[in-house]
A and B are shown apart, each in its own frame.
Chain A
Amino acid sequence: MEALSAERLVKVYGNGFHALKGITLSVNSGTVFSLLGRNGAGKTTFLRIMTTQLLPTSGTGVVLGYDVVKEAKEVRKRVAVVPQESKPIYLLTVREHVKYYLMMRGFSMVEASEKARKVIDDLGLNDYVDTLCMKLSGGLKRKVLVAMAVATEADVIFLDEPTTGLDPIARRLVWDVINRVARSGKTVFLTTHNMAEVEAVANEFALINDGKLVAQGSVDEVQRMLPYRMRAEVQATASSPEELLEFGEVVPVGRRFIVYPRSEEDSRRLYEYCTARHVRVSFSPVGVEDVFIRKVVARGAEEKH
């Protein structure tokens, strides 16, 4: 069953900016789905439309069979969202956040207290239950916001860049929570520009760029779209892209080159070339980052030329 779907979704803001240019995608129930893209790609706009916070210009969005424009009330009963850069209220404790948010959604005080206790326990927040949120670390603050959404027992939970600005340890805390929620059978829809996040938590993902969908599928499926199996990261300061072209496709990314060798033989030759010149090189299987690089970074560079 589909948890949500979008059909030719378009959003043009008042200033004429085209944030979404006809996005069509679907998300199955019970999956962790990640919408991946650069800043300004249209991820948050898409999420805000699907959670009934923003009206689309055209196209349709459907959540659990309900149209996000015409049946917003029905959608709102079934979703919960953690907005991008949201923060907990400084003078409330962890328990109060969850409890009062549930009461705001219509739960009785008894139900809200019970559900708060359970979710705090499930998400490992017991040690902080009566701690004021202003005293929590960045990771724990995000965890509290996710706990608020999870406690609602909404069928679809939307997380907008839940780990942006967090250190690697805090990020893993949040990933752990997402994986726990996923195990409970809920659908989690998250936006991110972090490739590692997609690999760590998502069953499926879609890549969005400049308001358009570039790729969609499981991590394995999308990886298989690539013509290469291996990638090499070469220190950029010690080589030039022209020299590396003989080993495969070269994409400059910051202070390094990503080289996609065409064969094992090319990989071996590249390794020998780099070691002979004392150039740092590391090999790994292709991943989500490579899909991103080839579909977004390389295409952007081609368009510039």
Chain B
Amino acid sequence: MYSSGRWSPVELRKSIRAILALVMVNGIKPVIRSPLWLVVMLMYPLVLIFFIYIFAEYAISEALIGGLVSLVVMSGVAIQADIVWYKVELKFQDMAVASPTPPTVYMIGMAVSELAYSSPAIALFLALMGIKGMLGLSSIPMLIVSMLLCWLSSLSIGFYLSTRISDIRHIWALEGLISIVLSMLPPIYYPMGLLPEWAQILSMLVPTTHAALLAKEAVGIVSLTGYQRLTSLAILLLWTAALLVVAGKKSVWREP
């Protein structure tokens, strides 16, 4: 299989089949048979929003964006656990290496499969945002771009860590830690202005801060100057590109 030229239609069709198979294997089938995962995915941002609703109802729009960013981050970072699980525990990745499946196709399939867990929760958050009147036609393109870049950078972190750590217990611990660092500490659920100045500067180094800023601007919660918007976009793009390059360079398909 995968016999013709690298980008031929035949090759492309086979790649799509492989991605579809991985989405079924690692996403849709496990979600259908163990729907508790959907609840777990949803609970984390929902609990935070619940508290924000109780203590500061006026900040609920900001919190909804925070929840959306959290879900996207979790969906990306979660890939590290699955990759290590398939590689170390099940040895499924060894079967994939010794097969015509190209490594990029395997990784894309694994990445897309993660969306099966988060997409119902993302849909719920979008619906809540719609009910709150936060979504308009003009807000959708930037919302998609910021969330896509946020997802790609989280995925790259997940990919990179999966090549460095082989013990699934460490992965689980790290996954929680990274989710907190990327989606709870920075001004995602709350306005940046609430932070002291030094913390604001620090938070500007975190890619999710920019993803949230762009998303908040898209739905009209904050207003950014053209320069601020470009800076946020550039930082987010730079983070994503740098993390993707590092993950690509460090990922090992055939062991040396």
Contact = CB atoms under 8 A, between A and B. Distances in A.
Interface residues on B, range: 20 to 34
A238 to B, nearest CB: 45
Contact of A86 (B90, B100, B255): B90
Contacts, number: 108
Nearest to B85: A89
Contacts of A6: none
Interface stretch (A106-114, A226-234, A291-299): A106-114
B91 A87 contact: yes
B91 A83 contact: yes
Contacts of A108: 17
Contacts of A152: 99
A54 B255 contact: yes
B30 A53 contact: no
B25 A89 contact: yes
Given A53-B255, A55-B256, A89 B92 contact: yes
Nearest to B10: A106
A86 B94 contact: yes
Contacts of B3: 77
B22 interface: yes
B29 A92 contact: yes
Contacts of B97: 51-53, 76
A144 interface: no
Given A72-B254, A81-B95, A148-B95, A106 B2 contact: yes
B2 A104 contact: no
Interface in B148-205: none
Contacts of B100: 73, 76-77, 105-106
A96 interface: yes
A84 interface: yes
B102 to A, nearest CB: 9
A101 interface: yes
Contacts of B20: 103
- The residue in B2, B18, B97 that gathers the most chain A C-beta atoms within 10 A of its C-beta is B97
B249 interface: no
Contact of A52 (B1, B17, B18, B254): B254
Interface string B1-31: 1110000000000100110111011000110
Interface string B98-139: 111100001001000000000000000000000000000000
A222 interface: no
B1 to A, nearest CB: 3
B46 interface: no
A53 B1 CA distance: 18
Contact of A106 (B1, B33, B89, B255): B1
A93 to B, nearest CB: 9
B59 interface: no
Contact of B254 (A53, A84, A105, A158): A53
Contact of B33 (A14, A54, A132): A132
A245 interface: no
Contacts of A96: 24-25, 29
Nearest to B11: A106
A105 B94 contact: no
B25 A77 contact: no
B172 to A, nearest CB: 17
B225 interface: no
A19 interface: no
B96 interface: yes
A107 B1 contact: yes
A87 B95 CA distance: 11
A87 B255 CA distance: 21
A52 B255 CA distance: 9
A104 B254 contact: no
A79 interface: yes
A96 B32 CA distance: 14
A85 interface: yes
Contacts of A174: none
Given A77-B2, A107-B17, A52 B98 contact: yes
A100 B25 contact: yes
A229 B122 CA distance: 73
A86 B95 contact: yes
A201 interface: no
A106 B14 contact: yes
B94 A53 contact: yes
A91 interface: yes
A72 B100 CA distance: 9
Interface of A: 14, 48, 51-55, 72-73, 76-77, 79-89, 91-92, 96, 99-101, 103-109, 132, 148-149, 152, 158
The 9 A-B pairs at the shortest CB distance, nearest first, are namely A106-B1, A86-B91, A106-B14, A103-B21, A51-B98, A83-B91, A100-B21, A83-B94, A81-B98
10 contacts: A52-B254, A54-B254, A86-B90, A89-B30, A91-B34, A101-B21, A103-B20, A106-B14, A106-B18, A152-B99
Interface of B: 1-3, 14, 17-18, 20-22, 24-25, 29-30, 33-34, 89-92, 94-101, 106, 109, 254-256
